[in-house]
Structures are given as C-alpha cells and as structure tokens.
A and B are shown apart, each in its own frame.
Chain A
Amino acid sequence: MPTQLLFTKFLNAHFAALVTALLEVFHVHPKYPQAPITNSFAMELLVFAILVAYFVVVRLTLSVEKPGAAQHLAEMANSFVADQGEQIIGHGSERFVTYLTALFLFILLSNLLGLVPGLESPTADVVVPLGFALVTFLYYHYHGIRANGAGYIKQFLGPVWWLYPLLFPIEIISHCARVLSLTVRLYANMFAGDLLTLAFFSLIPVGIPLVFLGLHLGVAVIQAYVFMLLATIYLSLAVAHDH
C-alpha cells in the first residue's frame, strides 16, 4: 500500500470499489485495488472543489453597486490575464481569456497546495503537468486551425518550397518538445522545491527550512505565471495570420 494523505484515505475508504470497477471496464488494472485513487488525483479533486466553490460564491455575490472581496479577487485575476493576452495576442484575445484564467488559477492553487501541511502539490507528480501541457497543445492547435483554416499548415513549412521536406519534421518535433518542456519545467520546479525543503529539514529541523518554504512560495507563483504566459505565446503564434 502506498502512503496516503488523509483526504486520499477518506476517498479510498468510500469510493475504492467504485473506481476499481470503473477502471476494470476500461481494462486498466490499478496496482493497489484497495486504493486506486492516488494522492495527486485526490489533490486535484480538492483544487477542483475549491475553485468551483469559489466561482459559485463569486456568482452568488455578484453585484454592481457593492462588489464583495471574492468578486474583487476574481476581477483582478481576470483583468490580469486579459491584459497579458491583449499585450501578447493583440486583437481577438478575448475568447482565450476564460481558458487562460482557468489554467492559471488551477495551476496556482495546485502549486500553493504543497505549502499546506498535510497536503501535497499535485503538480509535483509528472502526470498532472503533462495533462495541462497536452490540453494546452490541443487547444492552441484547435484555435490555429480555426483561425487560419487549411493555411495553418504553412506555419509548419519554410518560406520556400524546397525547404518543406526539411522543415516539416523539425517543426513537428519542436511542437512536441513544447509539451515536454512545459511538463518538465512545472514538474521539476515543484518537485525540486519540495525536495529542497525536505533536504534542509533533515539537516536543520528548526527555522532554516522556513526560508526555503518562502522560496518555494515564490517559485510556485512564478511557475503558474510562466505556464500561463507560454500558453498565451503559443496561442498568439498559432492564431497569427501570415502577411
């Protein structure tokens, strides 16, 4: 049995049989049939629940005359992402703001969850950032095709026809490398931050690890911002029209 956090234990106690049965339908055999729910999945579920609760609160307390604290926070996050999108993508960035804001808030909350004792960052597990990166990959390709139609293929080809067979594989590889670099950057930062705090905790258990916990707080915020920024830049490259 793997070590489980309290929330994971609670989920496994109640839904283990159901989840195992569901996975068996898809011919996936979990390693531990008594505990198919991993820590990172439980933490993701927690982030999802917190965000949905927050959005519900914002929606219920929405008012033009007397905006509450939750509404101020939501407006701040939205306008921050919208400004960023306007600056990078330019005209027509409004339709991407919802996705980018959701991505930013989800990653930010996932990263910050690791600072709470008794919880851990889902992003410190490699499959979670891979999920974010794959969704972003599909999203910007979808919008590239939507904005440019069949002409989107021109972005993968060179300026002159005899360069096409050379540049096409290179472009394909570079687009796949974007997924890899997005995944590894987020995963390694969160994982290394946790490991660093743990290493210094094993050396000096009092006081000093707090400094690295503070560093980890900064890294968590910056990495969420960087992920959102790169998603915005990839979107801007995909939807750009050739002149």
Chain B
Amino acid sequence: MKKLQYLFMSLAAMFLATPAFAQGTVSPAAQWVPLAAGLGMALAAGLCGLAQGKATASATEALARNPGARPGIFIFLILGLAFIESLALFTFVIIFLKVQA
C-alpha cells in the first residue's frame, strides 16, 4: 500500500511539473520527446544491466565449479554480453535517429 502511495505521489509531482516546461515555443507534441527518450534509454539500460549481471553471475559460478572450462565459458560469455548489449544499443540508435529529426 505504501508503495502505491509513493507511486501516486511521484506521478502527481510529475503531472504538476509539466506545465512549467510548456512555456517555450515548443509544439505540444514535441515537448514529450526528451522525456520519452530519457525514459526509453533508462529502461533499456536498466534491463540490459540486469540481464548482463545475470549472465556474468552464471558465468562466474560455472567458472568456480569447473575452472578447466574457462575458454569455452569465455567465448559464450562475451557472445552473450554482446547480444544483450546490442539490444540497448538498438534503443540508443532509434532514440538518436528520432530525436535528431
């Protein structure tokens, strides 16, 4: 219950704060672009961090149990990290393309 309370409080603060940004000559649709870009990138970066942490944790566990399997684990770890990271980078590229235009 307390968490919901915090959520609504922060939402109220956000909705109250928006008129302050609308003062400039920016069109009403474009004013959300920085917010959306920031939120999108934050979501992507956060989830990417979570996933990479999970992958690295499993790799270190596997390495602790079987140190002999280092080369094989290393390849798959790097590969997995690269694939996970590329998802966040897709978000970055889309944001960059859309915000520039």
A residues with CB within 8 A of B: 84, 87-88, 181, 184-185, 187-189, 192, 222-223, 225-226, 229-230, 233
Partner-A contacts on B (CB < 8 A): 71-72, 75, 78-79, 82, 85-86, 89-90, 92-93
Complex CA gap A126/B79 in Å reads 22
**What distance in Å separates the Cβ of B93 from its nearest Cβ neighbour in chain A?**
5
- Of the residues A88, A185, A192, contact of B82 by C-beta under 8 Å: A185
Q: Please, which residues of chain B bring their CB within 8 A of the CB of A230?
A: 79, 82
Which chain A residues border B86 with CB–CB below 8 Å? 181, 184-185, 188
Q: List 11 A-B contacts (CB under 8 A).
A: A87-B72, A88-B75, A184-B90, A185-B82, A185-B86, A185-B89, A187-B93, A188-B92, A226-B79, A229-B82, A233-B79
Contact of B92 among A87, A192, A226 (CB under 8 A): A192
Chain B interface mostly: helix
In the complex, residue of chain A having the shortest beta-carbon distance to the beta carbon of B88: A188
Q: Which residue of the partner chain B has the closest CB to A223?
A: B82
How far is B69's CA from A45's CA once the two chains are assembled, in angstroms? Answer: 41
Asked if residues B75 and A87 are in contact (CB atoms below 8 Å), the reply is yes
A229 CA / B79 CA spacing, docked (Å)? 8
Closest Cβ of chain B to A115, distance in Å, is: 20
The residue from B71, B78, B92 contacting A229, defined by CB atoms under 8 A apart = B78
Could you tell me the distance between the alpha carbons of A144 and B85 in the complex, rounded to whole angstroms?
28
User: Which residue of the partner chain B has the closest CB to A188?
Assistant: B89
In the bound complex, CA of A78 to CA of B93 (Å): 34
A228 nearest CB across to chain B (Å): 11
Judging by beta carbons under 8 Å apart, are A184 and B71 in contact? no
CA distance A140 to B86 in the complex (A): 22
**CB contact between B89 and one of A87, A192, A229, A233 (< 8 Å): that residue:** A192
Q: Decide: B89 and A189 in contact? CB cutoff 8 A.
A: yes
Which 3 pairs of residues, A with B, have the shortest CB-CB distance?
Answer: A188-B89, A226-B82, A185-B86
The CA of A226 and the CA of B79, in the complex, are separated in Å by 7
How many angstroms between the C-alpha atoms of A184 and B82 in the bound complex? 12
Bound-state Cα–Cα, A157 to B19, Å:
56
A185 CA to B90 CA, complexed, in Å: 8
Which of A87, A185, A192, A223 has the most C-beta atoms of chain B within 10 angstroms of its own C-beta? A185
B68 to chain A, nearest CB (A): 15
One of A87, A185, A188, A222 near B78 (C-beta < 8 A): A222
Could you say which residues of chain A place their CB within 8 Å of the CB of B75? 84, 87-88, 229
Task: State in angstroms the CA–CA spacing of A185 and B92 once bound together.
Answer: 11
Q: Is the CB of A226 within 8 A of B78?
A: yes
Q: How far is the CA of A218 from the CA of B82 in the complex (A)?
A: 13
CA gap between A79 and B89 in the complex, in Å: 31
Q: Contacts A87-B75, A184-B89 given; 16 further ones with Cβ under 8 A?
A: A87-B71, A88-B75, A184-B93, A185-B82, A185-B85, A185-B86, A185-B89, A189-B85, A192-B92, A222-B78, A225-B78, A226-B78, A226-B79, A226-B82, A229-B78, A229-B79
| Chain B residue with Cβ nearest A182 | B86
Return A93 CB to nearest CB of chain B, in Å. 14
> A226 — which chain B residues lie within 8 A by C-beta?
78-79, 82
Distance between Cα atoms of A88 and B89 in the complex (Å): 26
* Minimum CB–CB distance for B65 against chain A, Å: 21
